[in-house]
Amino acid sequence: MSIEISLDIQRDDFSLSLNASIPEQGVTAIFGPSGSGKTTLLRAIAGLENDNNSFIKVGETVWQENSTLVPTHKRDVGYVFQEPSLFMHLSVIDNIQFGLRRAPRPVADQVLSDVIGLLDIKSFLARMPNQLSGGEQQRVAIARALASNPSMLLLDEPLAALGDEQKAEIFPYLESISKKLSIPILYVSHSRAEISRLADHILLLEKGKLKGFGNIKDIYASLDLPLAHQSSAETILDTTVSSHDPDFNLANLEFSGGSLLVASDPLPVGTDVKIQISARDVSITLNRQVGTSILNVIPVTIDQIFAENKAQVTIRLIAGKIPILARITLKSCQDLKLKSGDSVYAQIKTVAILS
């Protein structure tokens, strides 16, 4: 089931115009600065933005075609807002069961058991919402959305109202949901750290326009799109554990462009690991260095060089067929006489494990 979207929403002070086909599985991040149209897009999918110039098709079902639309209550979506929006007069279990009110009893019982386990909320089912922390309230809100057994989950900045500790508490549950549920999840955020860790795909919005859409690794590494030029430019890689050195607590992570040694507790061989490399942590040398503390040095080819300003350049490197970004000084680039097509070495100072 793919989600076909064509929107042309016009307001006095804002417009949102885009065409996209969102994958049937995985997490698609709706990403962009404030005011770019992220929440408006989610509301349109849910049927909360009525506009006569839109088309939304989910699988084989047309939810909207111009002025003809399926009402919100008949769209098979679970929606979680920034604030938990729980019924404060109902207990946790009653809040969740509200989402089950239309399900047959055997189905409802199984779904209830599944969402309670998935969000780990059994210990506080009898409590009232005002007896819960912010992170616990949001877990209940997600459980209630999932209790309706939706074909799609819409998350509108679900961590925005939480502190750092509460975000750290809830994020593993979001990761678990994304791995265990075979439904599309649309995740609105303006936090790059969140989407780097969670998203498989990214829909990039800016001032109501679609700037880019695709696999998050490709979007991050494209010098034609704005994310590669931000100070937080990074590379996301999917790797696999090939071995672990217990003496130094280092995991050997392999990908199609080489292998990397990363500080890590023991992980089973064959474990898939998603990693992050900041462009600022990648330097370039013409020859493989000896006598250096940097463990990860891999052969690469320079694909593109982009001058960010008078002081810095962003370089897109290719390891095998995998792009890796480097951010170095313009002086270093000129001193080394770097150009597209050169075979060089990437020295990677730091690698972060995301999941």
Tens-digit pLDDT profile for residues 156-189: 999 998 888 989 889 999 999 998 888 999 999 9
Q: Is 230's pLDDT higher than 70?
A: yes
What pLDDT score does 294 carry?
96
Q: Is 106's pLDDT higher than 90?
A: no
Report the domain count for the chain: 2
Please tell me whether residues 239 and 281 are part of one structural domain. Answer: yes
With a pLDDT cut of 70, the percent of the chain lying above it is: 97
What pLDDT score does 25 carry?
87
Please tell me whether residues 238 and 111 are part of one structural domain. Answer: no
Q: Model-level pTM?
A: 0.92
Q: Is 352's pLDDT higher than 90?
A: yes
Handedness of CA 194, 198, 204, 205 (dihedral sign): negative
Q: Is 107's pLDDT higher than 70?
A: no
What pLDDT score does 239 carry?
98
Please tell me whether residues 180 and 246 are part of one structural domain. Answer: no
Of 212, 229, 223, 232, the C-alpha closest to 31 is 212
Please tell me whether residues 20 and 146 are part of one structural domain. Answer: yes
Please tell me whether residues 95 and 114 are part of one structural domain. Answer: yes
Distances (CA, A) of 271 to 196, 241, 252, 296: 19, 5, 11, 20
- pLDDT tens-digit map of 282-304: 999 999 988 899 999 999 999 99
Please tell me whether residues 47 and 151 are part of one structural domain. Answer: yes
Please tell me whether residues 94 and 152 are part of one structural domain. Answer: yes
| Residues 6 or more apart whose Cβ sits within 8 Å of residue 119 | 139, 140, 142, 143, 146, 173
- Determine the structural domain holding residue 246 and report its residue range: 234-353
Please tell me whether residues 180 and 238 are part of one structural domain. Answer: no
Please tell me whether residues 215 and 265 are part of one structural domain. Answer: no
Give CA torsion, residues 256, 262, 264, 270, to 10 deg. 20
Domain boundary at 180, 195, 229, which? 229
What pLDDT score does 103 carry?
60
Q: What is the mean pLDDT of residues 37-65?
A: 91
Give the domain CATH number at 85: 3.40.50.300
CB contact at 8 A, 31 and 202: yes
Please tell me whether residues 51 and 183 are part of one structural domain. Answer: yes
What pLDDT score does 105 carry?
60
Q: Is 336's pLDDT higher than 80?
A: yes
Q: Is 50's pLDDT higher than 80?
A: no
List, edge to edge, every strand of the sheet that includes 77-80: 68-69, 61-65, 55-58, 3-10, 15-22, 209-215, 201-206, 27-31, 185-189, 152-156, 77-80
What is the enclosing helix (H) or strand (E) of 319?
strand 312-319
What is the enclosing helix (H) or strand (E) of 218?
helix 216-221
Domain boundary at 203, 229, 255, which? 229
Please tell me whether residues 202 and 340 are part of one structural domain. Answer: no
Give the domain CATH number at 246: 2.40.50.100
CB contact at 8 A, 32 and 206: yes
What pLDDT score does 127 carry?
96
Q: What is the mean pLDDT of residues 55-65?
A: 92
Domain boundary at 181, 201, 229, which? 229
- Average per-residue pLDDT in the chain? 93
Q: What is the mean pLDDT of residues 14-37?
A: 93
Of 336, 340, 305, 33, the C-alpha closest to 189 is 33
Handedness of CA 130, 132, 135, 141 (dihedral sign): negative
Please tell me whether residues 66 and 181 are part of one structural domain. Answer: yes
What pLDDT score does 149 carry?
85
